[in-house]
Copies of this chain bind each other. A is one copy, B any other.
Amino acid sequence: MRDSYREQLDDILADLVEMSQVVSSAVRSSTTALLEADIHLAEQVISDDEKLDHKQSEVEARAFSLLARQAPVAGELRTLVATLRMVTELERMGDLAAHVAKIARLRYPEIAVPDSLRPNFVRMGDVAEKMVVTAGQTLNDRNIQNAQELRARDEEMDELRRTQFRLLLSDEWNFGVEAAVDVALLGRYYERIADHAASMARRIIYIVTGDFPEDAYWPQP
C-alpha cells in the first residue's frame, strides 16, 4: 500500500514534468508566432492552453485525493503541497504563452515587434523557454544544482526588459504608441514566465532539501 502511494505520487510528479514540456513548447511556439506573424501557430498555442487547463484540474484532483486518502509522512506531504502549487504555476505559464500568441494574432498579418527589438525578443523567448525546460528537468532528476543556473537566466531576463524600456522611451522610438504598448505587455508576459520558472525551482529545492533557499535571490513562492 505504501508502495502504491509512492507510485501515485511519482505519477503526479511525472505529469508535472510532462506539463513543463508542453509549456516550454508553448513558449517556443508563441515566440515564433509573434516574430513570424504565424497565425496558425498562434491559434494552436491558444487552443492548446485549454488542454493545459484541463490537465491542471486533473492533476490537482489526484494530488488532493492522495492527500485525503492517507496521511502522508513529512517528505511526501511537502512534495504533495509543492505539487499543488507547481501545477498552478505551470498553468499560469501556459496562460502567459497564450497571451503572447494573442498579441501575435491581434496584429496579424503585421508583426507586433518592430525590427529593432527583434533580437531582444528572440533572446527573451529563448531565455523563458530554457528556464521552463530547466525547471522541468530539475523536477525530473531532483538535481538542484541545475536550479542554480536559473538565477543567471533570470538576471538576463531582467536586463533584456531594461533594454526594452530604454529603447521604448528613447528618442529613437519611431514605431508609435501601439507597438510600444504591445512591447511593454509582451515584456511583462515573458518576465512573468521567468518568475514562475524560478519559483518552481525554489519549490523543487524545498522538496529535495526540506528548506526554501535562504538566498535573497530566490523569489517568494
Residue A5 CB within 8 A of the other chain: no
8 Å CB contact of A168 from B74, B84, B88, B177: B177
**A33-41, A64-72, A109-117, A146-154: which lies at the interface:** A64-72
**Interface of chain A, helix or strand or loop or mixed?**
helix
Total identical chains? 2
A218–chain B nearest beta-carbon distance, Å: 12
Number of A residues with CB within 8 Å of any CB on chain B: 29
Query: A180's closest neighbor in chain B, by CB?
Result: B177
How near does chain B come to A126, taking the closest CB pair, in angstroms? Answer: 23
In the bound complex, residues from chain B placing their C-beta under 8 Å from that of A68 are: 74, 77
Query: Which one of A7-15, A21-29, A132-140, A181-189 is at the B interface?
Result: A181-189
* Contact with A81, one of B64, B169, B180, B188 (Cβ below 8 angstroms): B64
A129 within 8 Å of B (CB atoms): no
B178 and A181: CB pair below 8 A?
no
Q: Are A177 and B173 in contact (CB under 8 A)?
A: yes
Q: Is there a chain B Cβ closer than 8 Å to A85's Cβ?
A: yes
